[in-house]
Amino acid sequence: MKTITVFMGDGIGPEITDAVLKILDAAKAPLEYEVFRVGAAEYEENGALIPDAAFASFEKNKILLKSPITTPVGKGFRSLNVTLREKYDLYANIRPAKSNTAVATPFKDVDIITFRENTEDLYVGVEQQIDPDTVHATKIITRKASTRIIKDAFEYARAHGRKKVTCVHKANILKLSDGLFLSVFKEIAADYPDIEADDKIVDNVCMQLVMRPQQFDIMVMPNLYGDIVSDLTSGLIGGLGLLPSSNLGKDYAMFEAVHGSAPDIAGKNIANPTAFLWSACMLLEHLGELEIAANIRRAVDEVLAEGTCITPDIGGTATTTQYRDAIIAHLA
């Protein structure tokens, strides 16, 4: 048994957490949970978005399954996600977008994994008010952070039999910052002659993704492009309800759906828990529990393929709990 930390989040967080933990239990995942409420409601009651005990639990267990958290709008609130990624140096944000034949979209055979650098770029949040009408934001790119994410992308490609890694950048304009990222990419690519390597400018990538997404395999890029382009990849496969992610560092690992807390549908029991469930599968795979992850993935595929019990965001009428129970019924 491995004990992991679970953040229940807010908005649709509690609904999808309930669904995922019940499916993990039904699949006999060898996990025990330390579950914490985090986010806006926790802040209103106890004055902290993430209680100290929740941080302490993650520091002890090193593995976090985190459902989405609403970032309160207004001064003084740094995004909790950015905080977690920085505090625990979760530098590699890996977002796999794969077509599922059961989910109707105009795009076929998409199988793209985005490796997003997670700790620097414009997300360092260094902004300066120069005068009332002028603001500067600082973009940080370092050799150290670029090297480790790019290496991880190539190592992953090699370990998983992937053919190509594409560097996504804007080095034609940001000659120094993205220029550094691109030059590190070219240096590292030379060490992996077995993997095809190319680079593309981010605006062209957005167009190509919509015209011919099948040409992409693994993409690696700085933080901001990774945030935006990976959401685009979710649109190719049926939406945010289907895009999981891992956030990996040397010592800690956090698994979460890419989507937010979806306040527009919170409490209605219609949220799609698939992205969060697939994130939990990535967690199981990270722990070496390959068979249990495969069993859950197969059950999801079967329920999606039947198409009679799927959530509204992907064209169905089922509730979150009905979908959850259908997946449980399909587990081996």
Nearest to 213 by CA among 109, 102, 103: 109
Name the minimum Å distance from CB 61 to ligand NAI: 19
| Distance between CA atoms of residues 167 and 265, nearest Å | 36
- Could you say which of 91, 123, 225, 252 is catalytic? 123
Residue 216, token pair as written in the block: 């992409």
Nearest to 223 by CA among 117, 144, 139: 117
> Can you tell me which of 57, 272, 279, 319 binds ligand NAI, judged by CB under 6 A?
272
DSSP label at 122?
G
Q: Is 96 in the site for ligand NAI (CB under 6 A)?
A: no
Q: Is 70 in the site for ligand NAI (CB under 6 A)?
A: yes
In the chain, which residue ranges form alpha helices assigned H by DSSP? 13-26, 40-46, 52-61, 80-87, 143-159, 177-189, 202-211, 223-237, 274-286, 290-306, 320-330
Name the minimum Å distance from CB 35 to ligand NAI: 16
Q: Is 301 one of the annotated active-site residues of the chain?
A: no
Is residue 233 a contact partner of residue 97, using CB atoms and an 8 Å limit? Answer: yes
Q: Is 198 one of the annotated active-site residues of the chain?
A: no
| Distance between CA atoms of residues 276 and 262, nearest Å | 13
Q: Is 199 one of the annotated active-site residues of the chain?
A: no
Q: Is 33 one of the annotated active-site residues of the chain?
A: no
Is residue 293 a contact partner of residue 285, using CB atoms and an 8 Å limit? Answer: yes
Q: Is 225 one of the annotated active-site residues of the chain?
A: no
Binding mask 234-253 for ligand NAI (x = CB under 6 A): ------xx------------
Is residue 324 a contact partner of residue 274, using CB atoms and an 8 Å limit? Answer: no
Q: Which CB atom, from 181 or from 255, has the smaller least distance to ligand NAI?
A: 255
Q: Which CB atom, from 65 or from 182, has the smaller least distance to ligand NAI?
A: 65
> Can you tell me which of 35, 41, 55, 71 binds ligand NAI, judged by CB under 6 A?
71
40-59 residues near ligand NAI, rule: CB under 6 A: none
Options 128-136, 137-145, 202-210, 254-262: segment touching ligand NAI (CB under 6 A): 254-262
Active-site amino acid positions: 123, 170, 203, 227, 231
Site residues, ligand NAI (CB under 6 A): 12, 68-71, 81, 240-241, 256, 259-265, 271-272, 275, 313
